Structure 1
Amino acid sequence: MESDGMIWEIDDSKPKIEGLDSVGRPDPAYAAALGLLRAPFGRRSLALVCDVALWMLLQLPLWLGAVPLLLKLATGAISPYGFLNHPGFILAVVMASVSSVLSLILLIVQWVQHGRQGRTIGKAIAGIRSVDVRTLERPGVGRVLLRFLIFGASGIVPVLGPALLLSTPTFDPEGRGRGWHDKATGIWLVDARRGLNPYDEKRMRVARKMVKAEPTKGRSTLPSLATHATADAQPAYRPGNRISAGVLGVARPYAANERPEVGLATAAAESVQVETGKPVLGGYRGEPASTPAPILPSMGRPGGMPGPVPTSTPRPQQAPAQAPAPRPAPAARPSPAPQPAPAPLPTQHAPASQPAPAPESHPSPAQRMPAARFGLRLDTGESILVSEPVLLGRNPDATEHPEARPIALTDDSRSLSKTHLLVRPVDGGLEIIDCRSTNGSGLVRAGVEYAVAAGIPVRTVDGDVIRLGDRVASVVRV
């Protein structure tokens, strides 16, 4: 509405109800995905019998103390004057009052409990709950009252009317066991003993998140930090040389026949050789190379000790963008005074024909680091690559697990502990350890949730779902 240059907007947005189809009807598949099951007919009959039996139990004072005197008045055994002056009249009035008051209290309690918590005393005994079929929440006292009035109106036709109404749940085309009185009031009776209890708010939130977290058939692919297993495979991106300020540039992709060795050892050796102009035999300074240099007999060394022949590391020839400026020749340094060679130790004498033992080969850090294979996909859509131990929680403290990398997760419901779960990569999946969290952790496999005891490692595989408080995360293969 626009008036005098002003625009008034009315926010008529309504809360979105999950589990409805395109025309606004409740979808039975959504309720089944949450884990809600219809109440079996046998236990529904048991709940009705329990409620009726409890009501009849409260009528015993009326039947024992007042009904015999009323029967005498009805049959003419005593007159109305004799009825009022009968010695048992006061007792009959008291007993009838007790039954009436107790019946009224029971009726109010059953009505309110059924509307707010979806259960009567009989339904609680049978493990049945009533919910609103659209929202899967409490039905409300108005719907429960209307349902009771419809059931009472069926008694206009004695026996046949109630029997027909109670048999209609068996003819439900949706297979949810809803009778005419249930469909008229929008109520659905579910099994809270074998299925999910809809009044367990924590588990309902987790179930809704799990259903929303898996709407697609495929899984998101996490980026891999490992070198490709096939040597002929050409990566789409290859970072160039790095300095303290960042990446200098992106190198062009090499052809299959000229691709050099990928790893930190070659890059470190080339960088040291460019700085000093001397060849380096190891991946790092002071570390032996993975391939030992050839050992030849010494030429002119005292003691006949064999020594390595210096070699230079070849580099791929590339046309430089600009010729480097010539460096000034270093100033001549005075040669040090000759010093007498120390006497060789007895343990150092070795025949000239035998070569010295080759140094042990040590794999470079790039070769020692295991390739990441699994990760976590959170219910918010975020992905965490678990290539090392990670610590999850609201604000994880890595004091007890110094080797783990802390990752803080957002949690509006504050169901996560400060340090909640430790996740470590293992062969074939992930290993989780609950860090004595307040709301605990769980492992959902094939639709069944298993509790995770605090401090006990539990193995997970691809497709499992991990519950952390009210948050859920799926284990995915990278």
Structure 2
Amino acid sequence: MSNPYGPPPQQPGQPQPGQGPGYGYPQQAPQGVPPQQGGYPGQHYAPYPQQAQPYGGYPQQPGGYGYPGGMGPTVASMGRRFGARVIDGVVFGVVFGILIAAGAISAFNDAKDCDPGSAAYDSCMSDAGSDFATQFGAVLGAFAVISLLYEWLMISVAGGTLGKLAVGIRVVDAETGQKPGVGAAFIRWIIPMVGGVLCGIGQLLVYLSPFWDNTGRQQGWHDKAAKTMVIQRSNN
């Protein structure tokens, strides 16, 4: 039976018939729970958590040389980089010494065949000297090729030379954290070599240039040109 007097008056804040509880009205936070920021008006949803950005905003890579766990890379110290250069220098010194010794032995054998009592002795010794100069030039050429293949291919394929791998550092693409690739590795190698033409002064300045980098990545001029950086190898 319908109410002849009509519906009862609604109290302020009381929901209308057919509406859910509190519809159109601000919801109250539960007792003892501080109000949260964000969400829709009247709701107390917690805001979406902000994800930490990796080093320099670099995207995370699935495995490989990507930065694990959302953490940025640890920039390799100049002490480690110097230690890597020392180890590589020892490797190059051994190879260069072997090549020079082989050329010197060959030239010595040529000079030993010259007869001091013959009239052609001077000519023979001159020829032996020319042969040594030719062999020395060949040694320098072979050394340059070995240097290119050693630095270029090892960095592009393995991410570091024997020295770098020994001290726990590697070269990566500064934007992706991946291996730099053959193109970037070649640029990184050729710039110090061009600088070495000026009595080695330019090469030394290139290797010291990370000290003047104000980006916090300690990138040398060759790193900036190749868009690479040197980081400490992860134990993962």
Q: Partner of 1:133 in structure 2?
A: 174
1:82 aligns with 2:140: no
- Among candidates 134, 155, 167, match of residue 114 of structure 1: 155
TM-score (norm 2): 0.56
Q: Partner of 1:61 in structure 2?
A: 98
Task: Note the residue ranges of structure 1 that are not aligned, 5 or more in a row.
Answer: 1-18, 198-202, 204-478
Higher helix share: 2
* Number of residue equivalences: 165
Task: Note the residue ranges of structure 2 that are not aligned, 5 or more in a row.
Answer: 1-52, 61-66, 112-120
Question: 1:368-415 CA deviation, whole Å, 9 max, x = no partner?
Answer: xxxxxxxxxxxxxxxxxxxxxxxxxxxxxxxxxxxxxxxxxxxxxxxx
Q: Which amino acid aligns with 1:44?
A: R
The 8 Å contact of residues 86 and 163 in structure 2, kept in 1 or not, is answered as: yes
Q: Which amino acid aligns with 1:82?
A: M
* Identity fraction in percent: 26
Q: Which amino acid aligns with 2:94?
A: L
TM-aligned CA deviation for residue 37 of structure 1: 0.2
The 8 Å contact of residues 118 and 139 in structure 1, kept in 2 or not, is answered as: yes
Question: 1:300-322 CA deviation, whole Å, 9 max, x = no partner?
Answer: xxxxxxxxxxxxxxxxxxxxxxx
1:285-300 matched pairs, under 5 angstroms: none
SS in 2 for 1:130: strand
- Among candidates 188, 195, 209, match of residue 147 of structure 1: 188
SS in 1 for 2:177: coil
Higher strand share: 1
1:197-276 matched pairs, under 5 angstroms: none
Whichever of the two has the greater Rg, that structure is 1
SS in 2 for 1:158: coil
Q: In the aligned structure 2, how far is the partner of 1:161 from the partner of 1:97?
A: 24
Q: In the aligned structure 1, how far is the partner of 2:201 from the partner of 2:225?
A: 20
Q: In the aligned structure 1, how far is the partner of 2:144 from the partner of 2:166?
A: 19
Q: Which amino acid aligns with 1:171?
A: W
1:33–1:169 CA distance, 2 compared to 1 (3 A): farther
Q: Partner of 2:204 in structure 1?
A: 163
Q: In the aligned structure 1, how far is the partner of 2:140 from the partner of 2:193?
A: 20
Q: In the aligned structure 1, how far is the partner of 2:228 from the partner of 2:205?
A: 18
1:46–1:135 CA distance, 2 compared to 1 (3 A): same
Q: Partner of 1:45 in structure 2?
A: 82
TM-aligned CA deviation for residue 133 of structure 1: 0.6
Q: Which amino acid aligns with 2:103?
A: A
* Cα RMSD (Å): 4.1
1:178 aligns with 2:215: no
TM-aligned CA deviation for residue 105 of structure 1: 4.9
1:169–1:101 CA distance, 2 compared to 1 (3 A): closer
1:159–1:111 CA distance, 2 compared to 1 (3 A): closer
